[in-house]
Chain A
Amino acid sequence: MYLNQYLFLSAVLFSLGAYGVLARRHAVLVLMSVELMLNAVNINLVAFSTYFDQVSGQVFALFVITVAAAEVGVGLAIVLLLYRNLDTPNLDAVHEMKG
């Protein structure tokens, strides 16, 4: 198997995630797109870990998974607060700092 198979797949997933972050309005969908991007990074880390025959890439992937879990927890709390205060989960309703 070529290393590029994995790298290209993860590039596609990362770009799709970036598109989702930019184009989605619903805050939970934006969080999902961020998860997509983090997963693309993880695929890269594990692919390089196997390529270099070292465990550290996998350990980093595990750290990324942990941080992603923390991020989703705090992110959803923020989305919930947003919904409670503005009555909408849409991110373009958050424009109070706009001059």
Chain B
Amino acid sequence: MAPQNVAFGIIAAAMVVSALRVVTTRNVVHSALYLVVVLAGAGGLYVLLAAEFVAWAQVLIYVGAILVLLLFGIMLTRAPLRESAELDTDQRWAGAVVALGLLGLLVALLSDTFGRVKVEPVAAVSGEAVGESIFRVFVIPFEVVSMLLLAALVGAVVLARRDD
């Protein structure tokens, strides 16, 4: 077996198990820490797919920033740091049925469409190529996204501040 396949197998298994724990564990902090494994695994997959800039962005933004933000959220809402049975709603079984149906549908459609299609990363896509694409082809979406970030920043401050 090719080394990429072995690496993919290890990363994929770790990601699926951790993702399962994220949505089923009874401890909020554990859930956040399992999410780290999933996000870092996604970064590893981007490396396997020769997308190095996205891999770095994933590690820096997701693992570095978003996860810290989520942990802050856990802290500020005084979530129970011990095991708590109150984290799930009673719609758990309905949710499981919906998720399994969705998975079955997706897998059936995908194996029908992309049955034997191979993907071979030729050379790593450099940050240069990504940057050129962002600032030439996608420059207007890029500016829109920067305005969106500004709006989100101002919105978060307005929402979270106390008026007294």
Q: Which residues of A contact B (CB under 8 A)?
A: 1-9, 11-29, 31-33, 35-36, 39, 42-43, 46-47, 49-51, 53, 55-56, 58-59, 61-63, 65-74, 76-81, 83, 89-90, 92
Contacts and interface: CB of A to CB of B under 8 A. Distances in A.
Contact of A66 (B48, B95, B137, B145): B145
Contacts of B10: none
Given A16-B99, A80-B76, A1 B2 contact: yes
B102 A65 contact: no
Contacts of A53: 122
A66 B120 CA distance: 27
Given A4-B110, A50-B50, A51-B117, A32 B32 contact: yes
Which 10 pairs, one residue from A and one from B, show the smallest C-beta to C-beta distance?
Answer: A22-B95, A20-B23, A70-B152, A19-B99, A23-B95, A77-B159, A15-B103, A11-B106, A89-B77, A77-B156
A83 B110 contact: no
Interface residues of B, number: 88
Contacts of A20: 22-23
A25 B87 contact: yes
A83 to B, nearest CB: 5
A32 B107 CA distance: 23
A52 B14 CA distance: 27
Contacts, number: 246
Contacts of A76: 69-70, 72-73, 156
B96 A23 contact: yes
B32 to A, nearest CB: 7
Interface of B: 2, 4-5, 8, 12, 15-16, 19-20, 22-23, 28, 31-32, 35, 38-39, 42, 45-46, 48-51, 53-54, 57-58, 61-62, 65-66, 69-70, 72-74, 76-79, 86-89, 91-92, 94-96, 98-100, 102-103, 106-107, 110-111, 114-122, 125, 129-130, 132-134, 137-138, 141, 145, 148-149, 151-153, 155-157, 159-160
Given A24-B89, A33-B23, A81-B160, A1 B120 contact: yes
Contacts of A74: 152, 155-156, 159
A51 B113 CA distance: 14
